[in-house]
Amino acid sequence: MKPLTLMTASLLALGLAACGGAEESAAPTADTAKEPAAMADHDGMDHGDHDMGEKMDGIGHATGTIRSVGSQGNFLTIEHGPFDGGIQMDAMTMGFDIMGDIDLSGFSEGDEVAFMVKQGRDGSHRIMAICNTGADGADCLDGMMDH
């Protein structure tokens, strides 16, 4: 099992345990790679009714429109709305690096997206999960983070 997959499964299990839903936790399958959305490791999403403490600090999610894709496929400029979660950020257009093995090859300028970012120690914000809301539905990111 790839280390990133193992780490993702471990973080998912930890998130399930924190939410009280750890009765059954399945490891990701090979079908995960066929999902239309891209995802790196994560701690979860929309924990407003859970006591997650510091787990969500520095992690937030928003929706927006891709304004440009970096020539090497590892950077996006997104015009986004305000962030929800552990990041306080108003609507703006800004650039984002990516975390982990997120594949941006299926994304292009003008795509409507939902995405989750993590703020690094250096203050930068890196995309840890992203999906195309136009192609995959408005709640596509929720399905990736659902627990």
Look up the pTM and report it.
0.62
- Phi, psi at 72, each rounded to 5°: -100, 5
- 34 three-class SS: helix
Instruction: Tell me if the domain spanning 36-145 has CATH number 2.40.50.320.
Output: yes
Confidence category of residue 56, pLDDT binned at 50, 70, 90:
low
Q: Which residues pair with 76 in a beta bridge?
A: 69, 96
Tens digit of pLDDT for each residue in 125-143?
A: 999 999 999 998 988 988 6
Domain ranges of the chain: 36-145
Q: What pLDDT score does 50 carry?
A: 42
End-to-end CA distance of the chain: 22
Site of tokens 């006591």: 51
Q: What pLDDT score does 5 carry?
A: 46
Mean pLDDT of 35-59: 51
Whether 118 contacts 128, CB under 8 Å: yes
* CA angle, residues 124, 126, 127, in degrees to nearest 5: 155
- 121 by Cβ neighbours in 10 Å (0-12 / 13-18 / 19+) ranks as exposed
Tens digit of pLDDT for each residue in 88-113?
A: 899 999 999 999 889 999 999 999 99
Report the alpha-carbon distance of residue 79 to residue 66 in Å, rounded: 6
